[in-house]
Structure 1
Amino acid sequence: MNGNDMAGSSTESRLAVVTGAGRGIGEAIARQLVADGLRVVAVDIDGGNAARVAQSLGTPHAARTVDVSDEAAVQALFQDIESTLGPVSVLICVAGLLILPGGERPLIKDMSMDTWERSFAVNMRGAFLCSREYLRQREAANVAHGRVVFFGSVAAQLGGYRSSSAYIAAKSAVHGYAKAFAREAAHLGITSNVIAPGLIDTEMLRSTVTSSGALAAAAQSIPLGRVGTVDDVAAAVSYLVSPGAAYITGDVIDVNGGYRMQ
Structure 2
Amino acid sequence: MNTAVNAGRVALVTGGGRGIGAALCIHLAQNGFRVVVADIDSENAAGVATDLGKDHIARAVDVANEAAVVGLFNDLETSVGPVGVLVCAAGLLIMPGGERPLIKDMTTDIWERSYAVNTRGAFLCSREFLRHREAKPVPHGRVVFFGSVAAQLGGYRSSAAYIGAKAAVMGYAKAFAREAAHLGITSNVIAPGLIDTEMLRSTVTSSGALAAAAQNIPLGRIGTVDDVTAAVDYLVSPGAAYITGNVIDVNGGYRMQ
Q: Does 1:151 align with 2:151?
A: no
Q: Is the 8 A contact 2:6 2:31 kept in 1?
A: no
Structure 1 CA distance for aligned equivalents of residues 38 and 88 of structure 2: 10
Shift of residue 253 of structure 1?
Answer: 0.2
Q: Is the 8 A contact 2:15 2:91 kept in 1?
A: yes
Aligned equivalent of 1:18: 13
Q: Does 1:249 align with 2:244?
A: yes
Shift of residue 16 of structure 1?
Answer: 0.3
Aligned with 2:188 (options 193, 196, 202): 193
TM-score by length of 2: 0.97
Structure 2 CA distance for aligned equivalents of residues 100 and 12 of structure 1: 40
Shift of residue 11 of structure 1?
Answer: 8.6
Deviations 1:173-227 (A, max 9, x none): 0000000000000000000000000000000000000001001110110011100
Aligned with 1:59 (options 54, 58, 63): 54
Shift of residue 67 of structure 1?
Answer: 0.3
Aligned equivalent of 1:226: 221
Aligned equivalent of 2:82: 87
Shift of residue 233 of structure 1?
Answer: 0.3
TM-score by length of 1: 0.95
Aligned equivalent of 1:118: 113
Structure 2 CA distance for aligned equivalents of residues 171 and 39 of structure 1: 28
Structure 2 CA distance for aligned equivalents of residues 149 and 118 of structure 1: 22
Structure 2 CA distance for aligned equivalents of residues 166 and 73 of structure 1: 24
Shift of residue 41 of structure 1?
Answer: 0.2
Aligned equivalent of 2:67: 72
Structure 2 CA distance for aligned equivalents of residues 131 and 59 of structure 1: 26
Structure 2 CA distance for aligned equivalents of residues 12 and 57 of structure 1: 15
Whichever residue aligns with residue 112 of structure 2, its letter is E
Whichever residue aligns with residue 70 of structure 1, its letter is N
Structure 1 CA distance for aligned equivalents of residues 18 and 105 of structure 2: 30
Aligned with 1:204 (options 187, 199, 202): 199
Aligned equivalent of 1:7: none
Aligned with 2:174 (options 174, 179, 183): 179
Higher RCO (C-alpha 8 Å, min separation 6): 1
Shift of residue 12 of structure 1?
Answer: 4.9
Gap runs ≥5 in structure 1: 1-9
Aligned with 2:253 (options 214, 235, 258): 258
Gap runs ≥5 in structure 2: none
**SS in structure 1 at match of 2:243:** coil
Structure 1 CA distance for aligned equivalents of residues 98 and 55 of structure 2: 39
Deviations 1:57-114 (A, max 9, x none): 0021000000000000000000000000000000000000000111111111111000
**Aligned CA distance change for structure 1 residues 58 and 105 (closer, same or farther; 3 Å):** same
Aligned residues: 253
Structure 2 CA distance for aligned equivalents of residues 16 and 108 of structure 1: 37
Aligned equivalent of 2:156: 161
